[in-house]
């Protein structure tokens, strides 16, 4: 555990970068420091590996004051990922990753084997081992940066705006990769960003800092969205925090109906069939033989032999998805009905916007964390949180 | 044609002997200048306030005519090649010091921070990260210093035939053999071009990681990467 005890950084010219910061960053979880520029988030991060020394207070790592530890050894025990990756341009991908192992005195062969192993872990083709950084895309460079930080298997990972310089699509991929790696390795990660969405997406705990280096709020992301401490935090969270909070409610509580679901090869049925027989749905959801959705069909026209289908929009994962993805699916669907699927993309059932709204009301009424712990956007938390590191556990 | 390469006996050298001597008188000072510049430049990087006075001093030294240096040095080092090489070494500082300083400063801030964060000490970081990344800039400086040194050696002819190929210029006049002047000038130029080409080759071999023109066509950067400022050769 990393513990800040009223840590202050005051520069000789009087500027206060960090002002009396007290925090406990739990083990094996991601703590995000987020805030506008000049809030001291990077300064706070760099005090953890003593690239910057505090002028007041102290920082403890597993109960021991950081200042009592030899600085180079301390740094080699903490992975560091920086914006733009900061790779060594004159070293190959494999040599970049092997940097800390080599500093620790590993022999060449062992370090190289470790490099290749890590390239696979971060999703890089090992054929790139001999390439130089300039031959990689920004996203690939950042993957190398993450692999390099993990090389000596440090218990602590410090990440300073690591994904800020890549485009949004690549950033999303890197975030997913980080969550996947974290689920496997369970590092103690301190993550700095100015992007509140990234903070909410990645953080088990989020510390919102305000200009002048003061802590505005320290809470799990769900608590942050539901109960911002003050106007600054609320403003920083942005306009649609209510919608975003739905990411933390599992869609498993949503009642789905299979009444309007028909297989494409099924007989057309009664054209005048009552809407009640379709669970109130005005349309039929047509699936293929495996149960994967094809599109919506008007029952009357379908009975008349018209096979034309209306696109079904976006599905959500009924088991692991969040109410946010269910709502999104319902809003995007041309029929106003959300299509829930299982992990293989087979239809589990459909729900109307009204049903989604009811589930949201029920979730709010429950006023607690969702039953499916660690539930989130199914595509955001691929693989789910590892046991014992769910946000609820660290409150 | 033989006339061009028949050396007057007072030079006590064959043509190839003069070429070898010329190279020695030109390159040893550049090497000495490099060895002097490395620590000097590093001091300037560590203590930026030192840089302007150092730069100013090297510029003033460069402005001192070599003849003035000869007058000062001849009491100690006599009419020898050392007298010629000392000013040449000092002249090389004016390009080498800023070249190395710029090279070391060209290390991206995030690369520097990453090295520190991974537990490199200052010396190790200098030798394993900063200096290798500075190689293209250092070589740009070396090329200018080398070419200028090769042309400046000739002035040594003024202190008792210590100018290697430059001595031919004096002899061309004394013996009314203008072809010797042609030999001197053409050979000096050729040496300069060859030395420059060799340095370019060395730099290419030392920096397989540098995205120069030839490699860029061989391995195009993916479009997603913002074009990093390429370390271009100073031409």
pLDDT for the residue A105: 93
Q: What is the CATH number of the domain that holds B193?
A: 1.10.3720.10
pLDDT for the residue A379: 41
pLDDT for the residue A367: 64
- The candidate with the shortest Cα–Cα distance to A95, out of A67, A118, A62, A63, is A118
CA distances from A51 to A42, A74, B111, B115 (A): 11, 11, 14, 11
Residue B215 counted as domain residue: no
Sole residue written with tokens 């609820």: A392
Chain-centroid distance of CA A168 in Å reads: 13
Contact partners, residue A58, CB within 8 Å, separation at least 6:
A5, A7, A65, A66, A67
User: Which 88-117 residues of chain B touch chain A by CB within 8 A?
Assistant: 108, 110-117
Mean pLDDT of A38-64: 94
Using alpha carbons only, how large is chain A's radius of gyration in Å?
A: 25
From CA A192, how far away is CA A161, in angstroms rounded?
A: 5
Using alpha carbons only, how large is chain B's radius of gyration in Å?
A: 21
Judge contact between A191 and A32, C-beta under 8 A. Answer: yes
Would you say the C-alpha torsion A79, A82, A84, A88 has a positive or negative sign?
A: negative
Tally the domains of chain B. Answer: 1
The string of DSSP letters for A259-323 reads TTEEETTS----TT--GGGGTT-SSEEEE-TTS-EEEEE-HHHHHTT----B----EEETTT-BH
B205: confidence class by pLDDT, cuts 50, 70, 90: very high
Sole residue written with tokens 């302007």: B52
CA distances from B107 to A36, A111, B115 (A): 27, 25, 11
pLDDT for the residue B222: 44
Residue B219 counted as domain residue: no
Is pLDDT at B220 greater than 60 in this prediction? no
Residue A339 phi/psi, 5-degree rounding, is -105, 115
Is pLDDT at B185 greater than 80 in this prediction? yes
Tell whether B133 lies on the interface with A, counting CB pairs under 8 A.
Answer: yes
Judge contact between B139 and B37, C-beta under 8 A. Answer: no
- Of the listed ranges A1-10, A95-104, A320-329, B32-41, the one predicted with least confidence: A320-329
pLDDT for the residue A382: 39
Residue B36 counted as domain residue: yes
Per-residue model confidence as pLDDT tens digits over B16-39: 999 999 999 999 999 999 999 999
Per-residue model confidence as pLDDT tens digits over A264-275: 877 655 544 555
Mark yes or no for CB contact A86/B114 under 8 Å: yes
Mean pLDDT of B179-196: 95
pLDDT for the residue A270: 52
pLDDT for the residue A209: 96
pLDDT for the residue A278: 72
Per-residue model confidence as pLDDT tens digits over B91-113: 999 999 999 999 999 899 999 99
Query: Which residue has better confidence, B80 or B34?
Result: B34
Q: What average pLDDT is seen over chain A?
A: 87
Per-residue model confidence as pLDDT tens digits over A78-120: 999 999 999 999 999 999 999 999 999 999 999 999 999 999 9
Per-residue model confidence as pLDDT tens digits over A122-135: 999 999 999 999 99
Strands A64-65 and A56-61: antiparallel
Is pLDDT at B188 greater than 70 in this prediction? yes
Tell whether A83 lies on the interface with B, counting CB pairs under 8 A.
Answer: yes
Residue B100 counted as domain residue: yes
From CA B99, how far away is CA B90, in angstroms rounded?
A: 15
From CA A130, how far away is CA A323, in angstroms rounded?
A: 45
Tell whether B118 lies on the interface with A, counting CB pairs under 8 A.
Answer: yes
Is pLDDT at A374 greater than 50 in this prediction? no
pLDDT for the residue A151: 95
Tell whether A101 lies on the interface with B, counting CB pairs under 8 A.
Answer: no
Mean pLDDT of B127-154: 94
Report yes or no for ipTM above 0.85: no
- Taking the CA of residue B169 and the nearest CA in chain A, the distance in Å comes to 46
From CA A212, how far away is CA A19, in angstroms rounded?
A: 7
pLDDT for the residue A299: 82
Mark yes or no for CB contact B110/A85 under 8 Å: yes
Residue numbers of the domain that contains B155 = 2-206
A364: confidence class by pLDDT, cuts 50, 70, 90: confident
A274 burial level (CB within 10 Å; 0-12, 13-18, 19+):
exposed
Domains present along chain A, CATH in parentheses: 2-247 (3.40.50.300), 252-366 (3.10.580.10)
Task: Name A349's bridge partners.
Answer: A340
Tell whether B73 lies on the interface with A, counting CB pairs under 8 A.
Answer: no
pLDDT for the residue B11: 81
Residue B211 counted as domain residue: no
C-alpha angle with apex A34: A30 to A40, nearest 5 degrees?
A: 115
Contact partners, residue A351, CB within 8 Å, separation at least 6:
A254, A255, A256, A257, A326, A330, A337, A338, A340, A359
C-alpha angle with apex A196: A193 to A201, nearest 5 degrees?
A: 90
Sole residue written with tokens 């790696």: A181
Is pLDDT at A385 greater than 70 in this prediction? no
Task: Calculate the CA dihedral of residues A45, A50, A53, A54 and round it to 10 degrees.
Answer: 50
A148: confidence class by pLDDT, cuts 50, 70, 90: very high
- Of the listed ranges A42-51, A71-80, A209-218, A313-322, the one predicted with least confidence: A313-322
Is pLDDT at A369 greater than 70 in this prediction? no
Highest mean pLDDT (candidates A157-171, A246-260, A270-284)? A157-171
Q: What average pLDDT is seen over chain B?
A: 87
The beta-carbon neighbor of A86 closest among B110, B135, B210 is: B110
Task: Calculate the CA dihedral of residues A197, A202, A205, A207 and round it to 10 degrees.
Answer: -40
Residue B54 counted as domain residue: yes
pLDDT for the residue A268: 58
Mark yes or no for CB contact A86/B211 under 8 Å: no
pLDDT for the residue A267: 67
The beta-carbon neighbor of A72 closest among B113, B119, B133 is: B119
Residue B7 counted as domain residue: yes
Residue B18 counted as domain residue: yes
């Amino acid at each position: 555990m990393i513990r800040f005890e009223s840590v202050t950084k005051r520069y000789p010219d009087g500027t206060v970068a960090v002002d009396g910061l007290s925090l406990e960053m739990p083990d094996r979880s991601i703590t995000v420091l987020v805030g506008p520029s000049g809030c001291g988030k990077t300064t706070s991060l760099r005090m953890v590996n003593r690239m910057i020394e505090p002028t007041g207070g102290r920082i403890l790592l597993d109960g021991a004051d950081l200042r009592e530890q030899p600085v180079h050894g301390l740094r080699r025990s903490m992975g560091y990922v920086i914006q733009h990756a900061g790779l060594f341009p004159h070293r190959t991908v494999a040599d970049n990753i092997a940097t800390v192992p080599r500093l620790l005195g590993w022999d060449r062969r062992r370090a190289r084997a470790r490099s290749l192993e890590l390239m696979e872990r971060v999703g890089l083709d090992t054929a790139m081992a001999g390439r130089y950084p300039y031959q990689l895309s920004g996203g690939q460079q950042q993957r190398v940066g993450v692999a390099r930080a993990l090389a000596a298997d440090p218990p602590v990972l410090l990440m300073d705006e690591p994904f800020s310089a890549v485009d949004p699509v690549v950033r999303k991929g890197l975030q997913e990769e980080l969550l996947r790696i974290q689920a496997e390795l369970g590092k103690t990660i301190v993550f700095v960003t100015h992007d509140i969405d990234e903070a909410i997406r990645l953080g088990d705990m989020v510390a919102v800092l305000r200009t002048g280096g003061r802590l505005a709020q320290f809470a799990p992301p769900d608590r942050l969205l539901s109960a911002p401490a003050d106007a600054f935090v609320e403003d920083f969270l942005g306009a649609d925090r209510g919608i975003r909070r739905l990411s933390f409610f599992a869609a498993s509580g949503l009642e789905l109906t299979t009444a309007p679901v028909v297989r494409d090869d099924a007989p057309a049925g009664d054209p005048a069939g009552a809407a009640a027989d379709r669970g109130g749905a005005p349309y039929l959801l047509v699936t293929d033989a495996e149960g994967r959705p094809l599109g919506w069909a008007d029952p009357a026209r379908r009975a008349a032999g018209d096979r034309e289908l209306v696109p079904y929009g976006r599905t959500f994962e009924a088991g692991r998805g969040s109410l946010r993805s269910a709502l999104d699916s319902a809003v995007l669907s041309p029929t106003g009905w959300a299509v829930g699927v299982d992990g293989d993309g087979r239809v589990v059932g459909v729900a109307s916007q009204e049903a989604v709204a009811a589930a949201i009301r029920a979730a709010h009424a429950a006023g607690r964390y969702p039953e499916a712990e660690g539930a989130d956007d199914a595509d955001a938390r691929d693989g789910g949180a590892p046991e014992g590191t769910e946000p609820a556990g660290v409150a | 044609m033989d006339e061009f390469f028949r050396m007057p006996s007072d030079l006590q050298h064959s043509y190839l002997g003069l070429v070898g001597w010329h190279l020695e008188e030109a390159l040893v000072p550049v090497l000495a200048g490099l060895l002097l510049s490395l620590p000097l430049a590093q001091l300037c990087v560590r203590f930026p306030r030192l840089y302007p006075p150092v730069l100013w001093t090297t510029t003033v030294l460069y402005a001192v005519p070599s003849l003035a240096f000869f007058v000062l040095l001849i009491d100690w080092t006599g009419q020898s090649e050392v007298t010629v090489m000392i000013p040449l070494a000092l002249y090389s500082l004016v390009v080498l010091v800023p070249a190395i300083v710029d090279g070391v400063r060209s290390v991206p801030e995030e690369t520097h921070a990453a090295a520190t964060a991974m537990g490199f000490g200052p010396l190790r970081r200098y030798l394993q990260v900063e200096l290798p990344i500075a190689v293209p800039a250092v070589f740009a400086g070396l090329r200018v210093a080398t070419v200028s040194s090769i042309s400046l050696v000739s002035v040594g002819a003024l202190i008792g035939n210590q100018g290697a190929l430059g001595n031919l210029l004096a002899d061309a006049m004394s013996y009314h053999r203008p072809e010797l002047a042609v030999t001197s000038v053409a050979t000096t130029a050729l040496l300069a071009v060859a030395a420059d080409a060799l340095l370019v080759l060395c730099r290419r071999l030392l920096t397989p990681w540098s995205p120069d023109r030839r490699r860029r066509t061989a391995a195009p950067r993916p479009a997603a990467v913002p074009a990093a400022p390429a370390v271009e050769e100073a031409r």
